[in-house]
Structure 1
Amino acid sequence: MKEQKRSRKIAMTPEEVDAFLAEQRTVRVATNGTNGPHATPLWYVWHGGAMWLTSLSRSQRWADLQSDPRIAAVVDAGEEYLKLRGVEIRGRVEVVGEVPRTGEPVPELEGPEQAFADRYSGGTMHHDGRHAWLKLVPEKITSWDFRKIGG
């Protein structure tokens, strides 16, 4: 993975990145489409060093990623300047499991699906036959925590 070169003084440690991604609930993802960039919010889980995204399999985002799996994902928080913090993850997604997801046993999805269910649906994973899983393994992580500026 590429090392963060800029703003290292306000960068989060790997432990801080893990904690931040575990507490936030929404990610904004940007894909490359034939008509230009496409940005959308999604729910996610950070599990095993990867960002797991559930996406409608009949969507512009899905179509974009089938032709170009590169993606940028941003999770951010804070209202005031000295409280802004966030993480940008860049990489390529891979599809895991059946498309759309109906619940067939997929060992690689056991952990992410349980984490997703615990976070968003009271511990039970619901497969609606419309969504599928995308796994984003970071090629580069950039983070910032303006609380480290002080003042």
Structure 2
Amino acid sequence: MVTTQRRGRRIMMTPQEIDAYLAEQRTCRVSTVDAEGRPHVSALWFAWDGDSLWLYSITRSKRWAQLRGDPRLAVVVDDGHEYGELRGVEFSGSAVFVGEAPRSGESCPELDTPERLFATKYFGVDTLPHDERHAWLRLTPETIASWDFRKMAAG
């Protein structure tokens, strides 16, 4: 796992904490840019396999179109209500399109793990139903930053 965090080492999550945190969280925010450099942020469900963040995106979305033009993106998964409860992970890198688009269920061994993780997490089943509207994006992060403000109270 790539971690480039310098500040906030005291509140940084360990790789094991990141894995556990991402397994329990359901929604991320994905930031893309258009051809003029204007940002666009949207919420999305995701799966984390320990190395890559898998995003199941509608292929007719603004996000999908922008990533086709410029694959760079940033993703944040965070939670907490009070300041001392804030936790999160920020990823940045480039999206890779994996499998057919839109996804109809054609055999793609690279998608076996993310589809199983996603189906279990969001639908409580082993096999992901395909709606022929979504397709997969993989973000293998170039940078990862994390924070867990609950650690400040502990130390």
Bin for the TM-score computed over the shorter chain: over 0.9
Segments of 4+ in structure 1 off by > 4 A?
A: none
Contact in 1 for aligned 2:96/2:138 (Cα 8 Å): yes
* Aligned match of 2:129: 126
1:10-60 deviation per Cα after TM superposition (whole angstroms, max 9, x unaligned)? 101111111111110000000011351000000000014100000011110
**Root mean square deviation, CA, Å:** 1.2
Count residues in correspondence.
151
Normalised by the size of structure 1, how large is the TM-score? 0.96
* Aligned match of 2:110: 108
* Aligned match of 1:70: 72
Code of the residue aligned with 1:93 in structure 2: it is A
* Aligned match of 2:150: 147
Contact in 1 for aligned 2:35/2:69 (Cα 8 Å): no
- Matches of 1:118 and 1:9, distance apart in 2: 33
* Aligned match of 2:11: 10
For residue 2 of structure 1, report the CA deviation from its aligned partner.
5.0
> Relative to total residues, which structure has the larger strand share, 1 or 2?
1
- Unaligned 5+ runs, structure 1: none
* Aligned match of 1:20: 21
**SS of alignment partner, residue 147 of structure 2:** strand
* Aligned match of 2:63: 61
**SS of alignment partner, residue 105 of structure 1:** coil
Normalised by the size of structure 2, how large is the TM-score? 0.94
